[in-house]
Chains A and B, each alone.
Chain A
Amino acid sequence: VTSIASCVGMLPPGSGLLAEPPFRAPHHTISAAALVGGGGAAPRPGEVTRAHRGVLFADEITEFRRDALESLRQPLEEGRIAVARTRGHAVLPGRFILVAAANPCPCGFAGDPKRLCECTPMERQRYRARLSGPIRDRIDLQVTVPRQRAGELLRADVIAESSAEVRERVVAARERQQTRRPRGPLNGALTGTQLRHDAVLDRPSRALLEVAAERLHLSGRAVHRVLRVARTIADLGGSIDVDQSHVAEALQYRESG
């Protein structure tokens, strides 16, 4: 399936199956048609479809055009996109991992411990609103990346984990998902029914999730997303069941949004 590349002319001549998932990073001035697919008369795949089974990276997501961003709703939820054009319509695949980056406010320093944010509350609010609730709601993991102190940056003695180590865990987690559902989706795309089956909560973790949902005003969809993330965290830890610590970590990635 990944050789969608062939249709959009991205396959290098003479090559066989692609071994590497796609990575697409459209610029934020992209139009809705280019993002989800459009074209003159016949439907033509856009960035969403090119990123199928890979990563769609949206840097400065708040700078994207409103209509382009909102057009991501369907693929984010369903993994495909229906494109209607004058001369017929097509449903194109588009199951990607969205990785987005944004500033917290126009000047960029809201929430920074050292530097004062120069924006008015109004400006901040308007800026945040560019990433609409429905889109925000569909993003499983929301993380604040603080600025690093120079001292921290220059310290050479701390050895962080290498990509290879992390990758090993990721591969193992993926394998666990595959054993559970040999043909099924990865955790991020599990349906509600599948989720109820795969991520059974014990009593304390259920209570935790209920309280958190209440306090954070989580939507039904958001609760499901937390569950999916918790399932993945459990897989990364090699655990068969989803327990309280997994749910707690998954919830962390909701609050900052």
Chain B
Amino acid sequence: MLTTVLARALSGTLFGLEGVRVEVEADIADGLPGFHIVGLGDRALQEARERVKIAINNSGFQFPGRRVTVNLAPAQLPKEGTAFDLAMAAAIVNAADDRSLPQDEAWLGELALDGAVRPIRGTLAIAAHLDRLGVQRLYVPAANVAEARIATAAPVVGIQHLRDLKSYWEEGAPLPAQEPTEPPPASTTAVAVDLADIRGQAHAKRALEIAAAGAHHLLLVGPPGAGKTFPESCRRWVTSSRSR
């Protein structure tokens, strides 16, 4: 009798500002029911046990009543955050049903208790890194799709709810990737103050202009109330001239 089953799901995290590939392994073995996470996780990761377990049960799956161990490899790299929730759920659900997951697909996302998938930080950097590693399909929170698509040419699937994955996992019906749409440019802030509204201070304004043109550092010295801080309100305006 087979007493232990294993499934792997690919995920990623941030280190500094770089994406790092993380492999999530779930093992289900006979023994006292329990759920353990190893692989240098921080507090948010230890708490993932509760999130993942409840989310699985609330999404039409059954959390296995056996001994579940999740390992995050490379095990020596400290990991933090909640981006692994979805990958953990993927590994556990599929280990329980004795299926394996494609190793060129990656999973990112935080789970809510009801199984909804919440946005995570750093999708862009992680997606860029996974793209370099040749990942063919990316599952991310629906709110992070636009970001992920900037970084990768591979199909990006936005997930709203863990439940959405049921048919894919159980029947093998692939989920459609979202149509590439032109992402809405991030909003621009309106600025109330115009340079013309600032009286005098021609010298300071000129310095401001030079600083903006050549990316120079600037120090303004003056008595209280002279308006040193004032240029700052329109500062934003002057610099917004550059793209990127």
Contacts and interface: CB of A to CB of B under 8 A. Distances in A.
Interface of A: 1-4, 6-9, 11-21, 23, 25, 40-45, 49, 53-55, 57, 59, 61, 76, 83, 87-88, 90-93, 95, 97-104, 108-109, 112, 115, 131, 136, 138-148, 152-153, 155, 158-163, 166-167, 169-171, 173-174, 177, 185-189, 225, 228-229, 231-233, 235-236, 253, 256-257
A152 B227 CA distance: 13
B146 A144 contact: no
Contacts of B187: 12, 15
30 contacts: A4-B17, A7-B14, A7-B122, A8-B121, A12-B187, A13-B119, A16-B185, A17-B183, A21-B244, A59-B229, A61-B219, A88-B78, A92-B16, A97-B216, A99-B232, A100-B218, A100-B220, A103-B221, A108-B223, A144-B220, A145-B222, A146-B226, A160-B198, A163-B194, A163-B237, A188-B211, A188-B214, A229-B210, A229-B214, A235-B213
Given A45-B16, A167-B241, A76 B184 contact: no
Contacts of A43: 15-16
A137 to B, nearest CB: 11
CB-based closest 10 A-B pairs: A16-B183, A90-B16, A232-B214, A145-B222, A187-B214, A188-B215, A140-B216, A13-B143, A173-B213, A101-B228
B123 interface: yes
Contact of A23 (B147, B215, B239): B239
Nearest to A91: B16
Contact of A1 (B119, B205, B244): B244
A8 B16 CA distance: 10
Nearest to A185: B215
Contacts of A228: 214, 216
A40 B197 CA distance: 45
Contact of A21 (B121, B143, B150, B242): B242
B235 A23 contact: yes
Contacts of A115: 223
A169 B204 CA distance: 16
Contact of B240 (A21, A45, A139): A21
A236 B209 contact: yes
Contacts of B125: 6-7
B236 interface: yes
Contacts of B198: 160
Contacts of B234: 163
A170 B212 CA distance: 7
A98 B16 contact: no
Contact of A15 (B184, B200, B237): B184
Contacts of B147: 3, 6, 11, 15-16
Nearest to A252: B203
A4 B17 CA distance: 7
Interface of B: 14-18, 42, 78, 80, 119, 121-125, 143-147, 150, 182-189, 191, 194-205, 207, 209-229, 231-232, 234-244
Nearest to B227: A145
Contacts of B17: 4, 7, 45, 49, 90, 92-93
A233 B210 contact: yes
Contacts of A174: 213, 241-242
Contacts of A231: 214
Contact of B215 (A41, A87, A189): A189
B130 to A, nearest CB: 14
B189 to A, nearest CB: 7
B229 A235 contact: no
Contacts of A16: 146-147, 150, 182-186
Nearest to B118: A13
B43 to A, nearest CB: 10
A138 B210 contact: no
Contacts of B186: 11-12, 15-20
A177 B214 contact: yes
Contacts of A225: 216
B17 to A, nearest CB: 5
Given A141-B217, A144-B220, A158-B199, 18 more contacts: A7-B125, A16-B147, A16-B182, A17-B183, A59-B232, A97-B211, A108-B224, A141-B211, A143-B219, A143-B220, A153-B200, A160-B199, A163-B237, A173-B213, A173-B214, A174-B242, A232-B213, A236-B209
